[in-house]
Structure 1
Amino acid sequence: MTGTITRRTRLVVLACAVLAVAAALLVWWRAAEGTANTSTPDNRSVEAGFSRDMAVHHQQAVEMSFIVRDRTDDEGVRTLAYDVINTQANQRGMLLGRLDSWGLPKSSGQAPMTWMGHGSMYEAKDGSLMPGMATNAQLDQLREAKGEDAEILYLRLMTAHHKGGVDMARGAVDMADDDKLVRLARTMVDGQRAEIDLMADMLAQRGAKAGQ
């Protein structure tokens, strides 16, 4: 019983922390409009490439979270899914808004990850356009799964998804010049690393591991 309460408390704390960080970041983002670097990134810049790619990456995380929300009654998994939906939908809006502020299109003919120098290193397949993204077949499996099977599959897919996202966000932190975008990318790294640790615990509780 104590272990259950501890896990539930940890989930509640994580949910509150995620919402607080998201709210604070949104307030800062709006307050800082127009105060970032005076130079405007061009269409082939790190800033533009990261914003486009991460917006696509985030959209799939939101999709997976909506799917699992309807496939399980587990309070912990549903809370995590809600946090992913809330956080990544907000961040996606910020990324697209940044592109608007630069007067740049939301899509490009460049291959994903080109801004990282990895445009030809990842072989996109079956809807998995970037590292960590689930394939269409995996999404179909998630839609068909129920209960604990759905929980484990979601946690594994989202762990891989977050790891790919963290690598991308670190790339933006290292290479981007736009202050607002760098700060947002750092927030992504910190938030997704915390959720990776949480998901490892949740998988262990179900007798599973991320890579299986």
Structure 2
Amino acid sequence: MSPSRNRCTQWVAGSAVALALLFAGAATVASARGEAETPGPRTPSARSADAGFARDMAVHHQQAVEMSFIVRDATGDEDVRRLAYDIAHTQANQRGMLLGWLDLWDLPKTAPDGQGPMAWMPDGGHSGHSGHDMEGMDHDGALMPGMATRTELDRLRAARGEPAEVLFLQLMTDHHKGGVAMARGCAEQCTVPVEKRLAQGMAEAQQSELDLMADMLAARGAVPRP
């Protein structure tokens, strides 16, 4: 084979490899956006359940992280501190994933005009929540079911020792109940497979922590709030 023909063969082979790598990269991005597993729009819309869950759960998680750091400094009880660490670590990581998906989808981290928190759920997230949860909706800083109000957070910051432990466990129980409802809503309505799997995992993990917190409250002569 002549040198020129050999160079031509090498160039064609190299081009084929480059094209293969280019297509592989495009397929990876498409899969992350849900294109490889679901038909339909290239990315979720700003008003979709996928985007709504990512936005709202990121806010919900942020408060759980905040409460966990507050109680960590308010008690020396190792069981409560360990639970607080686990919640803060897990939910901070999950929050990063949710915000990362919004960036990947090129969607804003705030709701579109005219769409408030929980609008992506059919009933706005109201079903299955106690009267206390409903009173907290859009009042005193509580944007979603289960979220603590500003007044409740101030009480937690001021508490020390066992009273801080009990209040934290009660507030986090309410918080987890709201989070489980949201996660189950996404597991049913979201269309991006990886987000649906994360939501299902959230619901299962937080339900397990609800059982643990009920036991911890009982050990302190207390119960979850009605």
TM-score w.r.t. the length of structure 2 is 0.77
> Is the aligned partner of 1:190 residue 2:204?
yes
Q: Residues 58, 120 of structure 1: CA spacing in aligned structure 2 closer, same or farther, 3 A cutoff? A: closer
Q: Is the deviation greater in 201-210 or in 34-43?
A: 34-43
Q: Residues 101, 84 of structure 1: CA spacing in aligned structure 2 closer, same or farther, 3 A cutoff? A: same
> Is the aligned partner of 1:162 residue 2:165?
no
Amino acid at match of 2:118: M
Structure 1 ranges of 4+ moved more than 4 A: 119-122
Aligned length: 181
Percent identity at matched positions? Answer: 60
> Is the aligned partner of 1:114 residue 2:119?
yes
Aligned to 2:217: 203
Amino acid at match of 1:192: Q
Aligned-partner SS, 1:42: coil
Aligned to 2:43: 40
Amino acid at match of 2:75: T
Post-superposition Cα deviations, 1:117-159, rounded to whole Å, max 9, x if no partner, equal 3349664101100000000000000000000000000000000
Once residues 74 and 206 of structure 1 are traced to their aligned partners in structure 2, the CA distance between those partners, rounded to angstroms, is: 12
> Is the aligned partner of 1:181 residue 2:195?
yes
Aligned to 1:95: 98
> Is the aligned partner of 1:64 residue 2:67?
yes
Kept in 1, the 8 Å contact 2:187–2:196? The answer is: yes
Q: Residues 203, 33 of structure 1: CA spacing in aligned structure 2 closer, same or farther, 3 A cutoff? A: farther
Amino acid at match of 2:222: A
Kept in 2, the 8 Å contact 1:61–1:88? The answer is: yes
Cα deviation for residue 35 of structure 1 reads: 1.9
- Extract unaligned runs of 5+ from structure 2: 1-27, 36-41, 127-133
RMSD: 1.5
Aligned to 2:146: 132
Kept in 2, the 8 Å contact 1:111–1:120? The answer is: no
Task: Please point out which of 147, 150, 153 is paired with 2:167.
Answer: 153
Post-superposition Cα deviations, 1:33-65, rounded to whole Å, max 9, x if no partner, equal 642421310111000000000000000000000
Kept in 2, the 8 Å contact 1:54–1:165? The answer is: yes
Aligned to 2:52: 49
Q: Which has the larger radius of gyration?
A: 2
Amino acid at match of 2:72: R
Once residues 120 and 161 of structure 1 are traced to their aligned partners in structure 2, the CA distance between those partners, rounded to angstroms, is: 13
